């Protein structure tokens, strides 16, 4: 008889136990390697309901990343203009946004922004992810300051499991359509389930066994590992940890997560992959065209239905977290 996959409530309890078991490095600890981070900034609205981009910028400065992927850094509707002071971030942290075209008034693509300190951007693709919500991903080929090549897939997945499965499969298409590079998938992947019910199991062909999830949501008492940093070569990445400070707990409903890249291992893995490709050439060259943009379902009635499905999915998550915490209302999402 097949065992049932863990329920959302069981997943939350498992996350609590993992949080107690895992010893986390201090927020200010600096290790060797390239520091990468991911942070859902919640449109710069903190847990107190206040819109304060300055707090978000200060949290980013606390982290001191070499590369960081942000989600919800733009307004969601209308002109979707950016919410952060990028000039301040450049002055205080040296971080620059990966250039997009056209940018308009937005910082990123569907709210996704990648900032980096040093290096050379080789290529950028803006991908609209399938599903009922407007979600996207940035695919960035970056050479680090020492020349180490790195590919970042910075993404924000949807609230519906069906959408997350579609989005994970598109990530696999992205991986298969590009030349070999050490690759990180970073972002708010919105998957709170564990085991075979998790939509992230779809990522196995490209990323293998996924690392132990690290609870990052809600920021006041992290229970769910919604945010992830996953490498296609696990040995290039250190343990993923949360950046847990008083300011981070107040600035957004998500805590940032971070890890270090071992540049020597990344360069070694790339050399091995290049030698393998040369000894076993493909029958046809790898595709290098821009990935197609997936459209949303049209029609006013369908749009209304889609919004209602997303609203219900968010409400279920809030209720489950609230029940586990013993509160009537769950955290804002």
196 in any annotated domain? yes
- Is residue 112 in a domain? yes
Number of domains in the chain: 1
Phi-psi region of 106 (alpha: psi -120 to 50; beta: other; left: phi over 0): beta
pLDDT value for 159: 94
Closest CA to 32 of 69, 68, 66, 81: 66
- Residue 16 domain-assigned (yes or no): yes
Domain assignment present for 303? yes
Quote the pLDDT of residue 316: 65
Q: Is residue 285 part of a domain?
A: no
Q: Are 177 and 204 in contact (CB under 8 A)?
A: no
For residue 73, the model assigns a pLDDT of: 94
235 Cβ neighbours under 8 A, 6+ residues apart: 262, 265, 269
Burial of residue 86 (CB within 10 Å: 0-12, 13-18, 19+) is middle
CATH number for position 194:
3.60.10.10
Range of the domain at 138: 8-20+32-279+291-325
DSSP state of 69: E
C-beta atoms surrounding 204 within 10 Å = 12
Question: CA-CA distance, 136 to 167, in Å (whole number)?
Answer: 9
Within a 10 A sphere around the Cβ of 34, how many other Cβ atoms? 23
Reported as a single tens digit per residue, the pLDDT across 200-245 is: 999 999 999 888 899 999 999 999 999 999 999 889 999 999 999 9
Instruction: State how far Cα 103 lies from the chain centre.
Output: 20
In a domain, 275, yes or no: yes
Distance CA 149, CA 121 (A): 10
Q: Which two tokens stand for residue 296?
A: 């949303």
- Residue 324 and residue 326: Cα distance in Å, rounded? 5
User: Which residues, given as ranges, of the chain have pLDDT below 70?
Assistant: 1-30, 76-80, 102-104, 267-314, 316, 318-333
**25 in a structural domain:** no
Asked whether residue 1 is assigned to any structural domain, the reply reads no
Closest CA to 211 of 229, 198, 185: 229
């Amino acid at each position: 008889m097949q065992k049932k996959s863990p329920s959302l409530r069981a997943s939350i309890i498992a996350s609590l136990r993992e949080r107690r078991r895992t010893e986390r490095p201090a927020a200010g600890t600096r290790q060797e390697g390239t520091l990468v981070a991911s942070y859902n900034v919640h449109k710069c609205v903190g847990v107190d309901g206040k819109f304060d981009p300055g707090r978000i910028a200060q949290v980013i400065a606390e982290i001191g990343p070499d590369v960081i992927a942000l989600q919800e850094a733009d307004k969601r509707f209308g002109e979707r203009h950016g919410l952060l002071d990028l000039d301040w971030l450049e002055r205080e942290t040296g971080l620059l946004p990966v250039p997009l075209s056209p940018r308009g008034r937005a910082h990123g693509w569907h709210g996704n922004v990648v900032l980096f300190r040093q290096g050379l951007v080789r290529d950028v693709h803006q991908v609209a992810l399938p599903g009922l919500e407007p979600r996207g991903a940035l695919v960035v080929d970056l050479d680090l300051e020492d020349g180490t090549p790195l590919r970042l897939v910075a993404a924000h997945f949807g609230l519906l499991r069906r959408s997350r499965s579609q989005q994970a499969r598109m990530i696999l298409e992205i991986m298969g359509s590009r030349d070999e590079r050490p690759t990180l998938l970073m972002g708010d992947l919105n998957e709170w389930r564990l085991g075979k019910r998790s939509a992230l199991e779809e990522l196995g062909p490209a990323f293998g066994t996924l690392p132990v999830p690290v609870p990052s949501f809600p920021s006041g008492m992290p229970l769910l590992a919604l945010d992830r940093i996953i490498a296609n070569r696990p040995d290039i990445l250190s343990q993923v940890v949360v950046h847990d400070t008083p300011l981070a707990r107040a600035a957004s409903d998500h805590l940032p997560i971070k890890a270090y890249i071992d540049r020597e291992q990344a360069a070694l893995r790339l050399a091995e992959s290049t030698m393998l490709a040369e000894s076993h050439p493909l029958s046809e060259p790898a595709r290098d065209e821009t990935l197609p943009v997936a459209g949303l379902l049209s029609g006013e009635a369908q749009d209304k239905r889609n919004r209602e499905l997303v609203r219900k999915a968010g409400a279920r998550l809030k209720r489950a977290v609230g029940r586990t915490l013993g509160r009537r209302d769950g955290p804002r999402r």
